[in-house]
Amino acid sequence: MSQIERVIIFLLRFSAIIMGFALITVFMPSAWMEETHKWLGLGDFPKGPITYYLARSLSAFYVIYGGLLWLTSFNIKQYYNIIAYLAYTGLALGPTLLFIDISANMPYYWTFGEGPLIFVFSIILIILLKKIRKSDS
């Protein structure tokens, strides 16, 4: 296994672990969710079925996405196309989330810690994947 493959495995698994923490929110008591919202400096949590639904369902999606990253990390060559797809879609997702975060007036730490990081992560992953593809040719 090459050093590049080890770095890709690390990036995929590290991201998967970070996304896995979203499982907490899926099952978090509503009162804790409300307090966390305040602690993050987001003010009072807007109570209503749709906000709890969106918070929990999006968190569940992050867990599923993280699981996909984790699974693909075990065979990069076999799952190359899936990993590349996720990386290329991250090029669109990053700026989209940046736009959403700015439009929603999210705090700076959230705004610059989400979309831009996804974009940079995707670029790094694409570069590394191209190096693997080139070395296999």
Interval 108-125: pLDDT, tens: 999 999 999 999 999 999
Q: Is the pLDDT of residue 37 over 80?
A: yes
- Sequence-separated (6 or more) residues with CB below 8 Å from residue 69: 12, 13, 15, 16, 19, 86
Question: Is the pLDDT score of 101 beyond 80?
Answer: yes
Q: Check whether 137 has a pLDDT greater than 80.
A: no
Q: Is the pTM of this model over 0.75?
A: yes
Band the pLDDT of 136: cuts 50, 70, 90.
confident
In sequence order, what are the residues at sequence separation of 6 or more whose Cβ sits closer than 8 angstroms to the Cβ of residue 32?
Answer: none
User: What is the spatial distance between Cα 63 and Cα 137, in angstroms, rounded to a whole number?
Assistant: 34
The two tokens of residue 9 are 């495995």
Confidence class for position 51, pLDDT limits 50, 70, 90: very high
Q: Which long-range contacts (CB under 8 A, 24 or more apart) does 132-135 make?
A: 132/2, 132/4, 132/5, 132/8, 132/76, 132/77, 132/80, 133/80, 135/2, 135/4
- For residue 46 the two structure tokens come to 């807007």
In percent, the amount of the chain with pLDDT more than 90 equals: 95
